[in-house]
Amino acid sequence: MWRTTCPILCVAFLSSLALAQAPLEKRTIKGELKRSDPAHPKMQNPSNVHELKMAKDQTVVIRLNSDKFDAVLIVEDSAKTELAFNDDDDDDRAGTVNSKLVFTAPKDDTYRIIATCFDNEVGSYELIIEPAPEKAK
């Protein structure tokens, strides 16, 4: 029995260890909201889902920038429970309608980063996900 279960247990342990220790690199994703995209249940507007594996207590800064629509960011866990929501980037002094969230993972999970809009407009966007600086944590 030990010979058959040890490889399975070792792989499971090493996978969880890799997730917990995986450093997050800055990611920039170019996307586009289209009228044909599924509507998010809360906003009832087109939305795109981007998945992000995070370890417990890992903190990221997420920005959604667009000059085509009023950007809204939503973070859900893998069970689709909403954990964070933002309609405006408080750091954006130019008065744009971009969104920003600082999010800390409450558990090891694959999180759903949802790019959607407030005004039912569509168009191109840029989603930026990066490790949070120490002062933001």
Quickly tell me which residue has 């002062």 as its tokens: 135
Identify whether the C-beta of residue 64 lies closer than 8 Å to the C-beta of residue 98. yes
Could you state, in order of their start, the residue ranges of all structural domains in the chain?
A: 25-136
Q: Going residue by residue through the chain, which has 137 residues, state the pLDDT in tens, using 9 for 90 and above.
A: 444 444 443 433 333 333 344 568 899 999 999 999 999 999 899 999 999 999 999 999 999 999 999 999 999 999 999 999 998 876 655 667 899 999 999 999 999 999 999 888 999 999 999 999 876 55
Quickly tell me which residue has 């044909």 as its tokens: 36
Residue 119 pLDDT? 87
Give 96: exposed, middle or buried? Use CB within 10 Å, 0-12, 13-18, 19+.
middle
- Token pair belonging to 109: 């999970």
Q: Which residues pair with 117 in a beta bridge?
A: 71
- Say how many C-beta atoms besides its own lie within 10 A of residue 56's C-beta: 12
DSSP state of 25: P
Residue 95 pLDDT? 67
CATH topology (fold) of 25-136: Jelly Rolls (2.60.120)
